[in-house]
Amino acid sequence: MGKISQAKYLIITVILCSVIIFNFVQWQNPGLGTFFGLLYLIFYSFIFGSIFISPAGWPALSADKSAAGWQLILGLPLLLSLIAILGTVAIYFYQLNDLIFGLLVVAIPLILVTPYYYSTPPQKFSLKETILKHFDKVLERKETKVNVILVFGYLTLAIIAFTFLWSGQTSQSIQSPWQTVFSKFFLVYFLATLFLFTYILLSKRTKLPLILLIVHTFLSTSVALIVYQIGYGFDPFIHQATEEVINQTGTIKPTPLYYLGQYAIVVFLHKLTLLKIVFIDQSLVPLLASLLLPTTTYFVFHYWLKRPQALTLAMLMLVVPYGGFIMTAPQNLANLFFVITILLSLLYFRGQITISIFYLLAAATIVIHPLAGLPLLITIFLFNLFKALYDSYKRYLGLFFLTAVVFVFVMPLAFIINDSGINLARPNLSWHALNPLAWVNRFDLPLDLVYLINFNQLILALLIIGTGIIYLKKHQLLKNNAVYLIAALVILANFFLVKYFLTFPSLSDYDKTYFVNRLSLLAFYVLLPIFLIGLHLIIKRFFGHDIFGKFFIVLTLSGLITASLYLSYPRVNLYEPAKFFSVSDSDLKAVRLIEQTASPQHVVLANQMVGVAAIKEFGFKQYYNGQFYYSMPNGPDKTFYDLYLEMIYQGAKKETMLKAMAEAKTDQAYFVLNQYWRDSEKIAEQAKQSADKVYSIDEGEIYIFEYNLENPG
């Protein structure tokens, strides 16, 4: 694969930048913006990837003429990293306004042009020649009839599965997508997985299996994106509202030191394509995960394994917990960058990728979410130091371990600087926490098997990682890969110190546990290469038997992937009823009605999903003493939310609403009650006795109670 001539680079850059900027400023055509915006991302992802991935240094790529595709795919996270970093600088120190956007569109090609022409061989690039070579290869590799049947069978099943998801769309409040999706979806998904697995093992192709893997990964990660018409989760609504503010004003006040990387990417892509911010935000992580996880896994492991084995590992990435990749949030996007970086690190130790790539990815991850970015920076620094000292490993062993010990305190110090408290009490460790083994039996065999895996996933992960470690030790490779174990132990030590010796005043106990446990997941991600090696060895061991043994393995792995799909989304069953309801159309109607009937200054006591419905409709409209005018459970001061809970659990009394008005210094307050709340009928009857007005939404789905100060009652 050659290099694009400087004249062609200039012409392409002028055309792309001119059309994008003129369309953004004048024409405002989303179709044109999407087309040229995608061309912009594709072209400069390819350029960025070409800087670091040259066929001259990658014999395997030169041999199969596949460099351009890999340069494009692996260049995409690098391009997004550059956008995240530059956009963060703009938002934090000035504004990401229309002028800065235009400058970034032009600046990115200028930043890439010099390293591009100094990093690859000076041979010419021919698009026509590249297309013809790929076309010839497609014609050369004819599929057997069995493979054709498998491909068409998979595509048919995938279409049926997507149809089931589409027919399960809802704008009502639900606790799990599986409440509305046709129950036969899991059977269809299992069969689709089985067909795809079989095809991967039989095919002599690479590109078509990878394309189907991307489709299957998107089928797995897009359930929430498709089913929840209004949107899934709680945090995404807040981030989308923030992105809308940045799009309109160029910045957000007060400007945080975190999340800006995601905001910069979403706002940049919105201005680039003119697609709606909500659509870009909701699609970003599921789409990136679908594109990057299977391709990066295959790209890394195909240097050690045969094609079917590398493709199998790429598919088995769906066994790894991916609940964080089903929606877009800064932590999820940062975790995705974390995983991609760890996978690519295997090629760093082969000497095929320079360390600068990893520091770029780590910097982008930090500005997206420091909770993933700082551990990633620690990990990359340890990788860098380990490789630099490798030739004199024993002489500098003390220096390396001293550095690792220092990094144990990075996350606790970062939290303390960010106003977390110190708790010197003795950790309260229960036997249940130390004994992860669990047995289940609810007389529902499929569900029992799924939860037997779920409740014992730590033990299973440790067994698989242990298998990988034994293999490395047996083949005298453990020393070469010891840094993965050390980096994981450093992050686990950070997790232990943060979990048991720090306090978080602004978080509830549940939120603190959920928040801190993210660090333990990152430790697993660091061990992901060893986990995948162990998984490969286990499969290889059982796969060496007769045809029936192979079929059993394919069935088992397809079942595991189907179970992983089920467990990656909220569930309502005998084992763990889902805790939260989604935002509904009734919630939106409720906040609109309040906005129409209320005075300019009012406060609303409601559950958090009604609160995010208000944020979705009206943004961050009003605050009283640092509290959002809809009661919310987050933030250092939760007086409004505490009063809401008082209305729910201690009787719906006017005295409580008067406290809310006094806190906000307003003359009007509203109490919103969703029908799905426990004892909602009893609470509604209590509130009706003291409210000045009562409104009903969608035949009692939601009741709104209005209270006014001038009618003390």
Residue 254, preceding peptide bond in cis (omega within 30° of 0): yes
pLDDT of residue 528: 96
CA distance 201 to 195: 10
| Single-letter amino acid, residue 423 | N
Structurally, the chain folds into a number of domains equal to 2
Query: For 452-477, what is each residue's pLDDT tens digit?
Result: 888 888 899 999 999 999 999 998 88
Q: In the predicted model, is pLDDT for residue 251 greater than 90?
A: yes
Query: For 404-458, what is each residue's pLDDT tens digit?
Result: 888 888 888 887 877 655 665 556 655 555 556 666 666 667 777 887 888 888 8
Q: Tell me which of 258 and 231 has the higher pLDDT.
A: 231
pLDDT of residue 439: 66
Q: In the predicted model, is pLDDT for residue 128 greater than 70?
A: no
Bridge partners, 693 (sequence order): 706
**Domain endpoint, select from 90, 114, 130:** 130
Token representation of residue 314:
């790429």
How many other β-carbons are positioned within 10 Å of the β-carbon of residue 703? 22
Of 66-80, 254-268, 382-396, the least confident: 382-396
Identify whether 593 is part of a domain. Answer: yes
Q: In the predicted model, is pLDDT for residue 713 greater than 70?
A: no
3-class SS at 526? helix
Q: What is the dihedral of CA 525, 264, 239, 253, to 10 degrees?
A: 130
Identify whether 61 is part of a domain. Answer: yes
**Domain endpoint, select from 130, 160, 192:** 130
Q: How confident is the model at residue 711 (pLDDT cuts 50, 70, 90)?
A: low
3-class SS at 264? helix
Do residues 193 and 558 touch, judged by C-beta distance below 8 A? yes
Query: For 544-561, what is each residue's pLDDT tens digit?
Result: 667 777 888 899 999 999
Element at 672 (helix H, strand E): strand 668-674
Identify whether 479 is part of a domain. Answer: no
Of 34-43, 501-510, 619-628, the least confident: 501-510
Q: Tell me which of 136 and 626 has the higher pLDDT.
A: 626
pLDDT of residue 391: 64
CA distance 529 to 27: 48
**CB environment 591-617: b (16+ within 10 A), e (fewer):** bebbeeebeeebbbbbbbbbbbbbbbe
- Tell me, rounded to whole angstroms, the distance of Cα 275 from its chain centroid: 20
The residues, any chain, with a CB within 8 Å of residue 134's CB and separated by 6 or more, are 65
Q: Tell me which of 388 and 330 has the higher pLDDT.
A: 330
Q: Work out the average pLDDT over 262-285.
A: 97
Identify whether 512 is part of a domain. Answer: no
The upper half-sphere exposure of residue 258, i.e. CA atoms within 13 Å in the direction of its Cβ, equals: 15
CA distance 317 to 339: 11
**CB environment 372-404: b (16+ within 10 A), e (fewer):** bbbbbbbbbbbbebbbebeeeeeebeeebeebb
How many other β-carbons are positioned within 10 Å of the β-carbon of residue 408? 17
Burial class (CB in 10 A: 0-12, 13-18, 19+), 652: buried
Query: For 489-545, what is each residue's pLDDT tens digit?
Result: 999 999 888 887 777 666 666 566 777 788 899 999 999 999 999 999 999 888 766
Assign 3-class secondary structure to 458-502: HHHHHHHHHHHHHHHHHCCCHHHHHHHHHHHHHHHHHHHHHHHHE
* Domain range for 52: 6-130
Identify whether 646 is part of a domain. Answer: yes
258: left (phi over 0), alpha (psi -120 to 50) or beta: beta
CA distance 588 to 482: 53
Identify whether 234 is part of a domain. Answer: no
**Domain endpoint, select from 130, 151, 166:** 130
pLDDT of residue 450: 82
Question: pLDDT > 70: what percent of the chain?
Answer: 88
Identify whether 176 is part of a domain. Answer: no
Nearest to 53, CA basis, from 101, 107, 121: 121
pLDDT of residue 437: 65
Identify whether 50 is part of a domain. Answer: yes
Provide the H-helix boundaries in 57-206. 59-64, 67-93, 98-117, 127-140, 145-167, 185-202
pLDDT of residue 136: 47
pLDDT of residue 401: 83
